């Protein structure tokens, strides 16, 4: 069935919760393994029905935010959400304490219960009010930044509306755009500082109530990091500092020469090429046709996947009036199909959707029959490995998307990914400092960020901009407010994807087989174990990054410099 023909009906929330609770009673009292497993399956069936309807409503709501019907449906789901969280919590508790736990783990692996344990560790009725306070503060931040009105050359823009100007070919435009953007943040500094200060305080209070000194271990548990910790993060960041930073500094020097600017300022960083960034050769119809051809040639698995996506209309790609911003991939558990949502706008980001989001979707499609579906819950560093690696496995087809801009695309894709690593590390180190020293004042925090920033991003010359000189840059990174410690994951996934890139150039067949295996492992193994299982080196291990960099350098050197201007 096509997505547009799927029937939506609001679930009867009361009835579903009563049914699940009844099944949970039976699960708790199960007199045999058979009853236990059978009941578990029934709970999943009900949950899937709920999730399918949620996803349909969510997708249709984002496709047309002006459609009041789905707007109301989403409100109903959000209202019912906490009640479903409660039954989830009950389910997890039963699973941890059941005499059939061992049998369960033997049958389905130990990741589900390992995650249950993490969730148990970070939950206590005494922190409920603190969590409410936390989400109110997060909302305050999102509302404040979401409602930003930035005056620029006689027009009023929001934050994302400024992006195009900060990348403009004209230097004065970029400079003024950045000044306007940071001017808004500077004007709201007190508020941004206050919200974050209160967030740090309330999170620390939560940690204390749960018996921890700081929030750091709580955040790691919430991120479901089963087999890596703060020590791993530190060792990993050190590799970035020692190996990546010297290389990216060299890349910035080359950029400076390429764009012909002697006094390279922070507002020059977004301009990679004087001729502008690589542009795709066409709009949705052309790009999807090329993607079909590409996935057909890449492997039988990707061919089947992409054909199903097209046939079932599981994509809504081009931007239009009323569509929600951004892009995402999600999954419909009854239809057993992924869905891709995006806002094609004629930039190279359009092609990224067909490689990156499609990478997520491909993994979801491959594992559509996994039971229990909780074995498909993946930590972000692994999920992003699936998607970021697909960006590299599809490299050989990029000429069909970028035409004469292909070499520029290659260069930009690799250097951009490399340059992201130090920034990601700076955000992570900053958060560690913040939560390990919760009594720092807002000014001390900003000074700390500037100090860290100078280590990882020494090329940044803020040209006397007071707000940035005083360490305000992180306030634009919503993860810092919304999801503590959620950021290093992206860089870890990037390092994994680089490994696949290098491997793919050496031996495509072997690299692709390993990638398929990683997709199938899904959430069944913890990060380090999963990587080891498929023959990737752990990014946390000293030497992993040092081994990759010279290979990427060689690749960049092999590109036709005449075409990269
Ligand atoms: Zn992604």
In this predicted model, what pLDDT tens digit does every residue of 20-37 receive, in sequence order?
Answer: 999 999 999 999 999 999
Q: Which pLDDT score is estimated for 38?
A: 97
Instruction: Say how many residues make up the chain.
Output: 565
Write the CB contacts of 406 (distance below 8 Å, at least 6 apart in sequence).
278, 398, 399, 563
Q: Which pLDDT score is estimated for 370?
A: 95
In terms of phi and psi (left: phi > 0; alpha: psi -120 to 50; beta: otherwise), the region of 522 is left
Neighbours of ion ligand 1 (CB under 5 A): 387
| CB burial of residue 71 (10 Å; 0-12, 13-18, 19+) | middle
At 348-402, the pLDDT tens digits run: 999 999 999 999 999 999 999 999 999 999 999 999 999 999 999 999 999 999 9
pLDDT at 277 over 90: no
Q: How far is the CA of 214 from the centre of ligand 1 (A)?
A: 29
Q: Cβ(437)–Cβ(414) under 8 Å?
A: no
Q: How far is the CA of 387 from the centre of ligand 1 (A)?
A: 6
**How much is the pTM?**
0.96
Strands 328-332 and 337-344, by their bridges, are antiparallel
Q: Which pLDDT score is estimated for 81?
A: 86
Q: How far is the CA of 394 from the centre of ligand 1 (A)?
A: 16
d(Cα 239, Cα 245) in Å, to the nearest integer?
9
Q: In a 3-state reduction of DSSP, which class is residue 11?
A: coil
| pLDDT band, residue 326 (cuts 50/70/90) | confident
**Secondary structure element (H or E) that encloses residue 344, with its range:** strand 337-344
What residue has token string 């050190």? 238
E strand spans, 61-179: 150-152, 155-157
Find the mean pLDDT for residues 335-349.
93
d(Cα 450, Cα 444) in Å, to the nearest integer?
10
Q: How far is the CA of 493 from the centre of ligand 1 (A)?
A: 10
At 495-516, the pLDDT tens digits run: 999 999 999 999 999 999 999 9
Q: How far is the CA of 381 from the centre of ligand 1 (A)?
A: 10
Q: How far is the CA of 357 from the centre of ligand 1 (A)?
A: 6
Q: How far is the CA of 62 from the centre of ligand 1 (A)?
A: 18
Structure tokens at 461: 């010359």
Find the mean pLDDT for residues 48-76.
95
d(Cα 391, Cα 385) in Å, to the nearest integer?
10
Q: What are phi and psi of 420, to 5 degrees?
A: -70, -30
pLDDT at 146 over 90: no
d(Cα 33, Cα 22) in Å, to the nearest integer?
18
Q: How far is the CA of 500 from the centre of ligand 1 (A)?
A: 16
Find the mean pLDDT for residues 233-244.
98
pLDDT at 252 over 90: yes
d(Cα 130, Cα 175) in Å, to the nearest integer?
41
**Count of other CB atoms within 10 angstroms of residue 529:** 14
Find the mean pLDDT for residues 272-278.
91
Q: In a 3-state reduction of DSSP, which class is residue 431?
A: helix
Q: Which pLDDT score is estimated for 511?
A: 98
d(Cα 256, Cα 44) in Å, to the nearest integer?
56
Q: How far is the CA of 176 from the centre of ligand 1 (A)?
A: 31
d(Cα 257, Cα 169) in Å, to the nearest integer?
15
| pLDDT band, residue 160 (cuts 50/70/90) | confident
Q: Cβ(363)–Cβ(522) under 8 Å?
A: yes
Q: Cβ(344)–Cβ(315) under 8 Å?
A: no
For residue 284, how many C-alpha atoms fall within 13 Å in the half-sphere facing its CB?
12
Q: Which pLDDT score is estimated for 515?
A: 98
Identify the weakest region by mean pLDDT among 321-325, 373-377, 413-417.
Answer: 321-325
Q: Cβ(111)–Cβ(219) under 8 Å?
A: no
Higher pLDDT, 559 or 565: 559
d(Cα 98, Cα 103) in Å, to the nearest integer?
10
Q: What are phi and psi of 315, to 5 degrees?
A: -145, 140
- 243, 242, 225: which is closest to 486 by C-alpha? 225
At 420-445, the pLDDT tens digits run: 999 999 999 999 999 999 999 999 99
d(Cα 344, Cα 400) in Å, to the nearest integer?
17
Q: How far is the CA of 537 from the centre of ligand 1 (A)?
A: 21
On average, the pLDDT of the chain sits at: 96
| pLDDT band, residue 138 (cuts 50/70/90) | very high
Q: Cβ(339)–Cβ(305) under 8 Å?
A: no
Report which DSSP code applies to 314: -
Q: How far is the CA of 383 from the centre of ligand 1 (A)?
A: 7
Q: How far is the CA of 358 from the centre of ligand 1 (A)?
A: 9
Q: How far is the CA of 356 from the centre of ligand 1 (A)?
A: 6
Sign of the Cα torsion 80, 84, 85, 90 reads positive
CA-based R_g, the chain, Å? 24
Write the CB contacts of 290 (distance below 8 Å, at least 6 apart in sequence).
397, 400, 401
Q: What are phi and psi of 561, to 5 degrees?
A: -65, -25
pLDDT at 255 over 90: yes
Q: Which pLDDT score is estimated for 25?
A: 98
Q: How far is the CA of 544 from the centre of ligand 1 (A)?
A: 22
Q: Which pLDDT score is estimated for 276?
A: 86
């Amino acid at each position: 069935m096509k997505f547009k023909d799927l029937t939506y009906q609001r679930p009867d929330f009361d009835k579903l919760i009563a049914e699940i609770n009844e099944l949970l009673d039976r699960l708790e009292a199960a007199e045999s393994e058979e009853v236990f497993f059978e009941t578990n399956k029934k709970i999943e069936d009900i949950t899937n029905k709920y999730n399918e309807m949620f996803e349909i409503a969510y997708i249709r709501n984002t496709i047309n935010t002006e459609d009041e019907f789905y707007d109301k449906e989403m409100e109903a789901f959000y209202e019912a959400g906490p009640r479903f969280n409660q039954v989830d919590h009950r389910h997890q508790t039963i699973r941890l304490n059941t005499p059939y736990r061992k049998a369960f783990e033997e049958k389905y692996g130990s990741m589900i219960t390992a995650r249950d344990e993490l969730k148990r560790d970070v939950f206590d009725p005494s922190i409920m009010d603190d969590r409410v306070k936390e989400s109110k503060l997060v909302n305050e931040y999102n509302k404040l930044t979401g409602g930003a009105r930035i005056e620029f050359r006689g027009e009023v823009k929001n934050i994302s509306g400024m992006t195009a100007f900060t990348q403009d070919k004209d230097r004065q435009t970029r400079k003024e755009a950045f000044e306007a953007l940071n001017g808004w943040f500077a004007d709201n500094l007190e508020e941004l500082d206050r919200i974050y200060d209160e967030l740090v305080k309330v999170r620390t209070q939560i940690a204390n109530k749960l018996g921890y000194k700081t929030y750091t271990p709580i955040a790691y548990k919430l991120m479901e990091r089963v087999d890596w910790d703060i020590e791993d993060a530190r060792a990993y960041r050190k590799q970035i500092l020692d190996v990546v930073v010297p290389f990216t500094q060299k890349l910035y020097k080359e950029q400076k020469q390429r764009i012909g600017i002697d006094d390279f300022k922070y507002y020059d960083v977004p301009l990679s090429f004087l001729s502008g960034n690589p542009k795709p050769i066409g709009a949705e119809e052309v790009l999807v046709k090329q993607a079909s051809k590409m996935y057909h040639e890449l492997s039988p698995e990707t061919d089947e996947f992409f054909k199903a996506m097209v046939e079932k209309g599981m994509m809504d790609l081009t931007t239009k009036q009323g569509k929600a911003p951004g892009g995402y991939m999600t999954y419909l558990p009854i239809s057993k199909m992924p869905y891709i949502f995006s806002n094609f706008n004629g930039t190279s980001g359009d092609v990224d959707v067909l490689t990156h989001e499609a990478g997520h979707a491909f993994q979801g499609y491959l594992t559509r029959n996994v039971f229990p579906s909780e074995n498909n819950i993946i930590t972000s560093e692994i999920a992003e490995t699936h998607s970021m690696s697909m960006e590299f496995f599809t490299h050989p087809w990029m000429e069909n998307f970028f035409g004469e801009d292909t070499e520029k695309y290659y260069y930009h894709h690799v250097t951009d990914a490399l340059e992201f690593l130090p920034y990601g590390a700076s955000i992570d180190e900053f958060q560690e400092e913040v939560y390990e020293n919760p009594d720092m004042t807002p000014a001390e925090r900003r000074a700390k960020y500037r100090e860290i920033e100078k280590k990882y991003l020494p090329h940044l010359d803020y040209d006397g901009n007071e707000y940035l000189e005083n360490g305000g840059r992180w306030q634009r990174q919503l993860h810092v407010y919304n999801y503590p410690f959620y950021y290093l994951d992206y860089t870890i996934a990037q390092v994994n994807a680089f490994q696949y890139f290098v491997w793919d150039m050496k031996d495509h067949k072997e690299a692709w087989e390993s990638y398929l295996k990683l997709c199938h492992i899904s959430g069944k193994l913890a990060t380090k174990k999963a990587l080891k299982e498929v023959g990737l080196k752990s990014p946390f291990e000293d030497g992993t990054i040092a081994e990759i960099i010279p290979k990427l350098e060689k690749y960049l050197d092999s590109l036709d410099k005449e075409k990269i201007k």
